Each structure stands twice: as C-alpha cells, then as structure tokens.
Structure 1
Amino acid sequence: MKNIISAFALAWLALGSQAKTAASPSLTAAEPIDNHFIVQYHPDTSPTDRKAHEDLIHATAARHTSYRGIMKKFDIGGFQGYHIEIDPKSVSLLQKAKIIKQIQPDASISISRAVTLPPPLPLRPIVAPRQSTPSDIPSNIRRIPVSTWGQSRLSHRVPGVEGYVYDAGGSTAYVIDTGIRTTHAEFSNGSSSSRAIWGKNFIAGSPDTDENGHGTHCAGTVGGGTKGVAPLTELVAVKVFDAGGNGPWSGVLAALDWVVKHATANGRVGRAVVNMSLGGSKWQVVEDAVTAAVQAGVVVVVAAGNAGQPVNTTSPAACADAITVGAIDAGDARPYWSNWGVGLDFFAPGEGVESAWVGSDGDYASESGTSMAAPHVTGLVAYLMQQFGPHTPQQMRDRLNAFATRGAVTGAGEGSTNAIVYNGNEMFMS
C-alpha cells in the first residue's frame, strides 16, 4: 500500500504544473467542476490506510501543486471518501491505489425545478369507501376543514375530499435544499420560537436563510402549521443550493454526512427523515452515500424528477434504498413531466401545491413538480414515526406500503409502483 501511494505522490509532483484538461468521464446533464473530484474508498479500507493515504496527499498538495488537495472528507456509515481539488491528469494515477473504489468528477446540479401548470381541480365533498388498513392506528384523530388538496389526498382513499384528517404529531425532518425561512408563520411554535431551525450551510459566503424559496416550500409541505403533513415536526435546514438553486454534488454529500452525524449524536436515529428534492445525472457515488445513510438508520425520501423519463436515469432517484416519489395531480393522474418506472416507490400530490414562500413571513406560493410530491412523503414519514415510535428505514417502507392506496394512479408508467401514500386516518372519520 505504501508503495502504491508513494508512486501516486511522485507522479503528482511531475504532473502538478501541467496544463488543466477536461475531466473524464463527464456528467451528461450536470456541469462538471474543473479539477474537482469525489473519491470513494472501498468499504473494507482500514482507518489506518485511509489516514496514511490522506496525509500523503495533504503533504504533496501543500508542497508541490497549485491545487488544494483534499477539501472535505466523508464518513457516512459504510461510505468513506473525500472531495479533492487535483490536476485531472493525476486522477488516473490516484485510481491505481487499491483502496480506491471509484473517482467521479464533482458537478454542479440543481433543485428538481418546479414546472408551470394550471391549478388543481376543485375539492368536492364525497363519501369515501374504506379499505383494509393496519389495526394499530391511533384514534385521537383531528380534522382541518380547510386544507391543501395534498393534505386531503393523503388522509382519504379517493381524490377530491375536503379536509385533512390526522392525529397531531411529528419527529425530525432534515430538508437538504436551498435553506428554510425559519421565521415564517408556518413554522411558529405559537411564541417567539420556531420549529424550523438552522442546521448547516454548505454554500460558502451565503447567508443562513433561504434565498430561493424552494427549500421553504418543501419544508412547509413537510411540517407547516397549516400546510404541512406533520404540523408538529421539527424542521432542520441544510443548505446546499444558492439563490439560483444550484450547488455541487460534493455539497450534497457533505450534507448527508452532517445529517447522519447530527441525527446520531442527538438520538434521532429511528425518528429522523431526510427530504432531497434534487437531482442530476446518474451518479453512483451519491447513490452509494444515500444507501450508507439509510443503512445508518435514517430514512431518505427523494424526488423522482421532472423530465418525464425513467427514474433509473437520474440520481439519487435511482437509488434502491431511497424512497423515490413521483407526482400526481388532483385527479390521481401522473403528469407527463413526472419521472416513472422501476424504482419509483410511491406517488404523492405534486401539482398546484400551496406552501410557504420567502417574500415575507406570511408569503405563500403554489408550485408543481416532484419536488413538491416528495415532501408529502417526508412529512408522512415524520408523522408516522411520532405516532408509532422509532422505525428502521425498512420498517417505515413496509408501513407506507401497508397503508398505501393501490391502483388509483392513471398513467403511472411502466414499472412504477401504483401506490399513493396514505396516513391511515380515514377509517376514524364520522
């Protein structure tokens, strides 16, 4: 091992002053960041070997190149690696180290952008049939007469029913996004405090607030006081996108790393869920990181994407361990833009979703996209964790599957699981 690392270091000395070249392979639907790469170790690499490898890279970068070397290390359960700035010609030499599983170029990605669509169909009061549902559902049920159509859909077996039926509850939801306007009225505790708190900001030089609106909108759907699926949930802002909704994959990996460590340190494993309404080209490194977060005990919910393509073409939606969510409209049809296919786990409301916005503490906006669908599921996960206690990710997946309304989605897409998430409370309606 020492000889392999030393050979890399010696070669880097010779290559460090050479001209910059384009990285390979590149991402087809994301913009590679020159000279920035994500390096992933093999899972069985010992801490001693990792340290020796990293120490040598640090020393070499400091003495012999104009690049910064290792900028951030990742340790997400079974996923270890680092973000490095390096001469691209040295990457092939780095790949020869037996402890390295893969190296991929860092790239700029974006939030799963909303799409412009007509408003949803009006709600109508109807009598909804009951379906078989698990028997351990709490009976202290509440009903909000006026609610968003998304809230209503999650608490009824059929579309178009007025009111949100739920049992108050929530746990902790991490929103990896553009940040959260934590002072918004949707997140008020009824005093001067807020259920939305600032977690971590991975955008250098940006303020600890949402400059875009996307993250605040998602957070409002997860746990807003009037617009949210889990109105008592603690919301943690993890900022990885700037005012334009753009940021690097390395920031997303750093955010996952931080979330798992934060949830573990604060006793939230089993009661924590992550919302990731974001995506880019198929990128195995981020899928491996999501898998590691799930294996560490954190439920990860991701947007399927808005390209009208199979979910296996984009990450992290293609990750089998994530809960991947497609969109439906108010008539239970999949919009043409919602991704679909094998690996899509559930559908949720994603068209004309009203939630908090960033113009003021009382600002609201209606948005459409799978970015809006995923937070419905994230909120439901947080809600169910509060109602039924800690869940492993697999236990939560099983519960969501047990509750789901089957076969209702029109045009679900070949290979998609035809299941709309449901909170289980309709059986207690009078």
Structure 2
Amino acid sequence: MANRFPRPPAPSGDPVLGHTLDFARSPFEFVNRAIGECGDVYRMELPTVDVYVLAHPDYFRQALVDNIDAFGKTADFQRVFRSGLLSTEGQQWKQQRTVLQPLFHPKRIQGYTDQMVDATYRRIETWSAGEVRNMESEMQDLTLEVLFSTLFGRELLPGEGQELRKASDGLNKWFQPTSWLLPNWVPTPARREFRQSAERLRNEVRRLLAEHDGTSGTSEEGSATLLSKLSEASEDGALSRTEIEDQMLTMIFAGYETTAAALGFAWYALATNPAVRQRFHDELETVLGGEPPTLEDVDDLEFTDRIITETMRKYPPIHTIPRQATRDVRVGEYWIPANEEVHLSVLAVHRDDRFYEDPLDFRPDRWTEEFEAELDDYAFIPFGGGRRTCIGRDFARLEAKLVLATVGQQWAFEWGREESTLTLEPEITTQTKNGLPMRLHSR
C-alpha cells in the first residue's frame, strides 16, 4: 500500500518544530488552516510523532464502521480510563457494555425524569438574582448531582461533590495541547495535576464502592443502580474489581462532563441570541404553563430540542475522536501507517459549509425533518458513531432538555463580557479558556 499511495500532506510549518507551536497557540485555528491547505486528510508533524487528521463524514464512517478493526483506541484513553468502557475493545468491551446497558434502557432513562428535575431545582435554589455565575462550572456541578441522583441512587447536595468534581476535572489535563504535544516523559505541570487527580478520583471511587458494600445495592425507590449492577457483575465473575473501579471512574467523568459542556454552551448561545432566547421562553410558557416539566411534556418541547441539537453541532462536547491505526490503512487517496495516531475532527465537520449553511451562525431552525433526512449520518456525530456510539446518548439528551426547561422557567442569563467571541480549549471535552460568566435575571 505504501508504494501505491502517498501519505497525507502536511500544512506549512516550522522546519524543526513542525506544527507544535501553531497548534499549541490556537489548536482549532490550526485545524482550520490545515484543512484549507491540505483538504480532508492531513498530517500534523510534531517532534516525537505524526498525527493524521480526518475531516469528512466518509472517513468518519470508515473509521467507526466500515474498517473499525483498523482504528483502535489510543494509549492516551487507556492511560486515563484504563479498562473502562471508553478505552476497552473486543470481547472485554462487549462484556462491559452488556453489564451496563440495562441502566440505559429507554424505559429506565424515562424513569429518571423526576430525579433530574428535582436535582435541578436544588441547584438553582442556591442562585440569587443579579449575581454573576460561571455557567460552565455551574452545569458541571449540576450534572454531577444528577448523575448521583439517578445512576448512583443517592442525593449529592449542592456543594457536596466539590472534591470529586475537582479530581474528575483534572483528567482533562493530560489532553492540554501544551502537554500531549511533548513526549510522555516530560513532567509538565498539567501532567502532574493529571496524575494527582487520577489518584484522588480513584480513591473517591474506592470510597464509594466501600460505602456500597454491605448495602442492599438499590436506590431509595428500590431500582438497580450503577453500583448494584457492578456489584452483581463482580459476584458473577463478569468484571474484576479493577474493571469495576475503572467503570466507576469512567462513568463519573463521562456521565457529567459532556452534558455539562453542552448545557453551558446552550446558555451561552441563548444569552447571545436574543431572538432565539425569546422563542425558547415562549415555548416553555406555552407547553409547561409554569408547572415543572414532566416526561409527558418532553416531546412537546420541540424548539428546546432543536436548541440542544444546534448546540451540539456548533459546540460538540467531544471535539475530536482519537484512534490509532492498527495496521496500514488507506483513507481516500492516501495511506496511514500502522501504529500512528488518527484524529477524527468532529468540530471541523460540524462547522463545514458543505454540510451546513452559514455554519458559524446559531440556527436551531435548520433542524427540520427534511434537513435531517438529507444530512449525511456522519456529518453530525456528537455521540460518536457505529456500534460504539455513546451508551449514555439518550440519557444525556433527556437530561439536557429537562435542565434547560426547568432552569429556563425561572431564569434568564445575560452574557457577562463585552466580547462575545469564545476561545475554545481542546481537552478531553470542549472547554472554554475563561469560563462562561453569566448575570442571572429572575423571570
């Protein structure tokens, strides 16, 4: 294959450092420039490694479905999540998915509705009109509280989970551009924070498991929880104790971080688009009439649903899906050598004007049935694609809709800076450089 097809081209860069400095200064701007120079497949040259980037739905489909055996999980994901669901493969992944899937059955997810709404009320009761809050941080706190109330079967009161959240946030540090661009042995401050956070989070996980030992393993309502499912799997020999710890760590991080990112960006979009915000509030008044949202209301919140979809398009919580070539593989008219790292640039495709008219505009109304029917399935993949589509997709969408509806009934947000443009940071999830400060106004 190497003799028949060339490797992907590389954009212009420094003759010694390659693209290290350009990417570290402004990662997403570099991606846009590289695609402009090289097209939908390019090679990013770093001092110790090359990274191959794919930026087209056809190549996403190839990596996630058609040639999935040629694109494995990366060492970085295994370093963070070890044998958790996000990083395992093959039979081990299938067995873990089988254990966890019942918790995410549609009927079970629908049963979490009241708990999601109640957790949201507990969070917003701590707010005061006129104050400025960082909605990026607030949504992280809230979604962690929702996670505990639903999957863990216990209330985590506002302020109670700060140590847990701080430790979980630290997992992002491994993926800061200033860290992963350098060899793994270089002891950067971000890597030290990652290692300390990973150990603290693992200790918190062990504490939660120890608290669960000897209990009934069910929530107050008597339904199975994540802890009880993992406990059963341990007793049956389906999962080892190490795997259980890794599943807990994975679910804590993935169970709140991605939804929190989507919610934070949704509030930003509403705060900076007055016409959209007004329609959102009008729909809440029409559908809910001042009452708390219920499961019966969810389908009627159509515009709210479009806001969520458009937010995940413009600000996908997972901006990049990392893979590693397990063998030499052809992509388009190029070849990628075995063992090289491959990045699927979700953000680039979600903002590609070949698939979305005026892609930098926030336009919930683009999501009509006709538009979705014509859109390539892999031009919109906020939850990944193929058989490894995020197990918590339906959970996250329901949670996001209920949170927006519950909060939006009582509060409106004013963007807290003169400059409306965001600077995005590519950690595991899409983060902002300086948070999302919002002034709270009661409704």
Query: Do they superpose with TM above 0.5?
Result: no
Structure number with greater CO (CA < 8 Å, separation at least 6) is 2
- Higher helix proportion (structure 1 or 2): 2
Give TM-score scaled by structure 2 length.
Answer: 0.24
Give TM-score scaled by structure 1 length.
Answer: 0.25
